[in-house]
Structure formats: structure tokens, C-alpha cells
Homo-oligomer: A and B are copies of this chain.
Amino acid sequence: MVASSMPTITSTSLRIGELAALTGTTPRTIRYYEEIGLLARGDRPKGKHRLYRESDVRRLVELTRLRDLLGLSLEELRRLLEAEEARDELRRAWRQSPVAQERLRIVDEALRHLSRQLRLVRRRRRQLERLEADLSESRRVALARRRELRS
């Protein structure tokens, strides 16, 4: 009873419904993202259940976050994250290559990518701040009017 059938190879193995619940999305969305190539296929005999790991949770959270908060189409999202996939590739290469020259190139690539996302996020935040300021101003006016009516 102590040693179960087989040792788990992957960290935590999730089914599609569990991944969906953890990321606040739906199985259908996950299958669709796989279909259009936003999520990896993960070699699996056709008809059998999909299995996911911790890294898939992080990936999907990032996807939905950028999608919702930046309002990107899935095509734009794909282009934005292609760079990131290349970065992951490089990160793997990083461990193999302790050559400083090479490592510097990898870090610079990552920095360019992060800067691009930060620019998009900041622009959005400024737009939201402007909307919030406009609404606050309207409220300020309404509050003043109410005070006047009450006096």
C-alpha cells in the first residue's frame, strides 16, 4: 500500500476540467487554443484524455490575462507569445551553455520581450486612468449639486 503502481513522472497531472477550473476558463476554450496552436498538443493517443502540468497552468493564466486585460485577438496573442516561446527555448539552452556571451544574448532577448508587453500594459492603464478620472469628475459634479440641493 505504501508504494503505489507507478511513480509519477510529471509534477502534478491535471485533467482538462481541473486545468479549466484553476485558470477560470472552460474545457472548450482549452481545446480550441490547442486546435489553433496557442497551446501545445502534448503527444497523446487520439481519443484519450489530455493531461496537463503546472507549467500549463502558468501558460494558460498568462494567455487569458493578456487576452482579457489587453483585449488582444488570439492572432495578436500568438505573435506576442511566439517571442516568448523562443525565450523558453533559449532558457533551456541557457542551462547547457555557460558561455557568458551566449547568456547575455538570451537575457537581452528576454528584456526586449518584457519591454514590449510592459508598453502595451502601460498604455492600457493610462486609458483606464483617464476613464476613471472622467467618471470621478462627473461624480464630483453630482455630489456638489446634491450638497447644494440639501442646503
Contacts and interface: CB of A to CB of B under 8 A. Distances in A.
Interface of A: 65-66, 68-69, 71, 100, 103-104, 107-108, 110-111, 114-115, 117-118, 121-122, 124-125, 127-129, 131-132, 135-136, 138-139, 142-143, 145-146, 149-150
Integer count of this chain's copies in the complex: 2
Nearest to A108: B146
29 contacts: A65-B131, A69-B127, A69-B131, A71-B71, A104-B146, A107-B142, A107-B146, A107-B149, A108-B146, A110-B142, A111-B139, A111-B142, A111-B143, A111-B146, A114-B138, A114-B139, A117-B135, A118-B132, A118-B135, A118-B136, A118-B139, A121-B131, A121-B135, A122-B132, A124-B128, A125-B125, A125-B129, A125-B132, A128-B128
